[in-house]
């Protein structure tokens, strides 16, 4: 079965080794749209012959451009399924290839995974063979319903909203609802200090269009707000690995 991944990147070197490990479990090919990374992300990705890097330029972090890429990038794919995601959104299952096989057998054309978010006190050290959801705690994301998996032969248009958190698909629509596919959203939560630093970088990088439309305003939240949210979220920590394998 052929599974293609389409994703966006800007300075993601801190998570790329883990992300590539996740992709290796199911992806036949990955296309990365890189928005001018300066931290070695492009160099790292170009080492893999099954990963293609396509640079694009914007006047900063621009959700409108990202939305357009996500709406269009998968249209000509001949894969059985495509995964359209941000770099820090990692698909996981107890046996992920079997999940895609069941989707195919059932004629499912779209899937919203069960969402969890990384929540680590310390920046983890990468070790080949150990996945992030195995070495770090997570929190369940209540109400998250982002569609990541698409049958490109059945869906004509996905019609993502800004941020791709919602979509209005057109075509032969049949949702996969077995509940055995998960997504770990890293969301810069390698530690609280790491998140504060990354959010500051992203806030400074927001395009004028984003600021005008109030997209990405959470990157500008104060340190106090982010710290309070972190403390509250910490109370909801769980072991995603146990949940997936339980």
What is the rounded average pLDDT of the residues 204-233? Answer: 96
What is the rounded CA–CA span in Å between residue 187 and residue 196?
Answer: 11
Q: Which residues of 20-37 are buried (b: 16+ CB within 10 A; e: fewer)?
A: bbbbeebbebbbbbbbeb
Q: How many domains does the chain have?
A: 1
Question: pLDDT tens, 164-190?
Answer: 889 999 999 999 999 999 999 999 999
**Residue 192: which pLDDT band, with cuts at 50, 70 and 90?**
very high
List the one residue out of 41, 52, 51, 32 whose CA is nearest residue 11. 41
pLDDT on residue 164: 87
- Is residue 215, in this structure, part of any structural domain at all? no
What is the rounded CA–CA span in Å between residue 202 and residue 211?
Answer: 12
Question: pLDDT tens, 57-110?
Answer: 999 999 999 999 999 999 999 999 999 999 999 999 999 999 999 999 999 999
- Is residue 199, in this structure, part of any structural domain at all? no
- Is residue 54, in this structure, part of any structural domain at all? yes
List the one residue out of 66, 92, 138 whose CA is nearest residue 245. 92
For helices 192-205 and 223-234, the axis angle rounded to 10 degrees is 140
- Is residue 67, in this structure, part of any structural domain at all? yes
CATH number at 23 reads 3.90.550
pLDDT on residue 229: 97
Q: Report the length, in residues, of the chain.
A: 246
pLDDT > 70 in the chain, percent:
100
Tokens of 211: 């600021």
- Is residue 55, in this structure, part of any structural domain at all? yes
- Is residue 184, in this structure, part of any structural domain at all? yes
Q: Which of residues 165 and 243 earns the better pLDDT score? A: 243
Q: Are 3 and 81 in contact (CB under 8 A)?
A: yes
* SS3 call for 232: helix
| pLDDT for 213 beyond 90 | yes
- Is residue 44, in this structure, part of any structural domain at all? yes
Question: pLDDT tens, 26-62?
Answer: 999 999 999 999 999 999 999 999 999 999 999 999 9
H or E stretch covering 184: strand 182-185
- Is residue 208, in this structure, part of any structural domain at all? no
Domain range enclosing 64: 3-190+236-245
* SS3 call for 5: strand
What is the rounded CA–CA span in Å between residue 115 and residue 192?
Answer: 20
């Amino acid at each position: 079965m052929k599974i293609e991944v389409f994703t966006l990147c800007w300075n993601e070197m801190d998570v790329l080794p883990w992300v590539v490990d996740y992709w290796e479990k199911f992806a036949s090919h990955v296309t990365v749209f890189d928005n001018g990374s300066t931290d070695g992300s492009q160099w790292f990705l170009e080492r893999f012959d099954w990963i293609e890097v396509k640079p694009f330029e914007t006047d900063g972090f621009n959700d409108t451009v990202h939305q357009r890429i996500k709406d269009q990038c998968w249209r000509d794919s001949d894969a059985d399924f495509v995964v359209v995601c941000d770099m820090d959104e990692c698909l996981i299952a107890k046996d992920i290839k079997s999940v895609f096989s069941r989707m195919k057998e059932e004629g499912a054309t779209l899937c919203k995974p069960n969402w969890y978010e990384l929540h680590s006190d310390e920046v983890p050290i990468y070790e080949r063979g150990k996945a992030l959801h195995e070495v770090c705690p997570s929190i369940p994301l209540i109400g998250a319903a982002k569609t990541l998996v698409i049958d490109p032969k059945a869906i004509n248009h996905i019609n993502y909203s800004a941020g791709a958190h919602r979509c209005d698909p057109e075509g032969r629509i049949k949702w996969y609802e077995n509940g055995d596919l998960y997504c770990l959203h890293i969301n810069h939560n390698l530690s609280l200090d790491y998140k504060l630093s990354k959010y500051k970088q992203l806030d400074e990088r927001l395009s004028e269009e984003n600021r005008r439309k109030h997209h990405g305003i959470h990157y500008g939240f104060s340190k106090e707000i982010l710290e309070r949210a972190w403390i509250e979220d910490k109370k909801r920590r769980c072991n995603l690995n146990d949940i997936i394998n339980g």
